[in-house]
Amino acid sequence: MARVFIIVEHRQGAIRDATFELVTLARELHTKFGLEPAALVIGSGVKRFAETLSAYLPETIVVEHEMLADFRYETYAAVLRDIIEKETPLLTLCPQSAFGMELAPRLSVELSRPCATDCVRVEMDGPRLVVVRSVYNGKINSSLSFASSGGYLATVRSGSYAPAAEVGSAGTIREYPCPPFGAHFKTEFRGYREAASGAIDITQAPFILSVGRGIKDVEHISKAEELAAKLGAVLACSRPVVDKKWLGKERQVGTSGRTVKPKVYLALGISGAFQHLAGVKGSGVFIAVNRDQKAPIFRAADYGVVEDLFKVMDALMERLGS
């Protein structure tokens, strides 16, 4: 029976949410196509994670070693290569996260198995695996299959599948011996640090006015600040505005910035990259203004306006009076 493995992502003592989205996909591949799912837990002192996963999937394989305490692709790839070569799953899934982006393409080379990254859907068409990727800023879907007939890797974009619930019945936990490591590693983990955080905490704001690439110039930021003040909103932004240093990192909404759940989210000139949309999931009323009627943000917002954001900003200022 063909099998599908999921690589459990954990950091700083907790399983990352993306893992439970992979559980949903693995179960779907079981129900629809008969693949047997199993979870792979790799780390040091991670038996409790294996116990957690055993409430979700019928089998969990756990590998423990002190060298695996902190994630490095070198040690993780060595262990995963050993497991995948011996257990020969048809497919191994990993989140498309900072963890998966560091690990999966490299593991693919070391295993000589192809990897499709950042998939939003994984299915089978007869014996053949088919993945769907979202390309060109979320505006086009691309379907792919794999040329060789051995095993495959795929990384899955967060938010593509809903997080799974426990099934209740306990799955088996199998302890897998850690393969011997080579004597020499070329990378060394030195710790974590918080990216600069400022005085403002956008996660507590009930009303967020958020600006994106469409704001075009640093000179227009003060205009957005003025409008936010007038509306009683806190000013936030998407990634391109922080990359250009027009606003601080503490105001960035999205996976690599802050996750917010305001009562109202008003987005001006934000196209809606999935990393941004993942940071506003669960917001109350979501209004988006963008010039491109096909911008992905209109698939997430409650209300949409296809218009030049400066015209809308000026009209709002006028309505609010001076």
Partner 1 sequence: MEILVCVKKVPDTADAEVVLKPDGKGIREEDLAFGINEWDNYAVEEAIRIKEAHGGRVTVATIGAPDSEDVLRRCLAMGADEAIMIDEAPFMGSDPYGIARGLRGVVKKNAYDLVLAGTQAGDDGYAMVGPVLAGYLGWPHATLVTSIALEEKKIAVTRELEGGLEEMLTLELPAVLTIQTGINEPRYVSIMGIRKVRSKEIPVLGLGDLGLASGEVGEHANLLVSLGFSQPPAGRAAEMIKGTPAEVAQKILDILKEKGGVV
Site for partner 1 in 238-257 (CB under 8 A): 239-240, 242-245, 249-250, 252, 255-257
* Residue of 170, 218, 229, 285 that binds partner 1 (CB under 8 A): 285
* Residue of 3, 72, 220, 276 that binds partner 1 (CB under 8 A): 72
- 256/259 Cα distance (integer angstroms): 9
Name the residue nearer to partner 1 (CB basis): 61 or 115. Answer: 115
DSSP label of 69:
S
Name the residue nearer to partner 1 (CB basis): 30 or 244. Answer: 244
Site for partner 1 in 1-20 (CB under 8 A): 11, 16
Name the residue nearer to partner 1 (CB basis): 60 or 96. Answer: 96
What's the distance, Cα to Cα, between the start and end of the chain in Å? 71
- 237/209 Cα distance (integer angstroms): 8
Asked if residue 144 binds partner 1 (CB under 8 A), the reply is yes
Sole window of 52-60, 84-92, 97-105, 167-175 interacting with partner 1 (rule: CB under 8 A): 97-105
Site for partner 1 in 25-64 (CB under 8 A): none
* Residue of 148, 169, 204, 222 that binds partner 1 (CB under 8 A): 148
In the complex, minimum distance from the CB of residue 59 to partner 1, in angstroms, rounded to a whole number: 28
**What DSSP string runs through 11-62?**
ETTEE-THHHHHHHHHHHHHHHH-PEEEEEEEESS-HHHHHHHHTTSSEEEE
Half-sphere exposure (Cβ direction) of 286: Cα atoms closer than 13 Å = 17
Site for partner 1 in 174-203 (CB under 8 A): 186-195, 197
The closest of 296, 238, 242, 252 to 271, measured between CA atoms, is: 296
Element (H, E) at 230: helix 221-231
Rg of the chain over Cα atoms, rounded to whole angstroms, equals 22
Asked if residue 86 binds partner 1 (CB under 8 A), the reply is no
Asked if residue 130 binds partner 1 (CB under 8 A), the reply is yes
Q: Are the CB atoms for 257 and 249 separated by under 8 Å?
A: yes
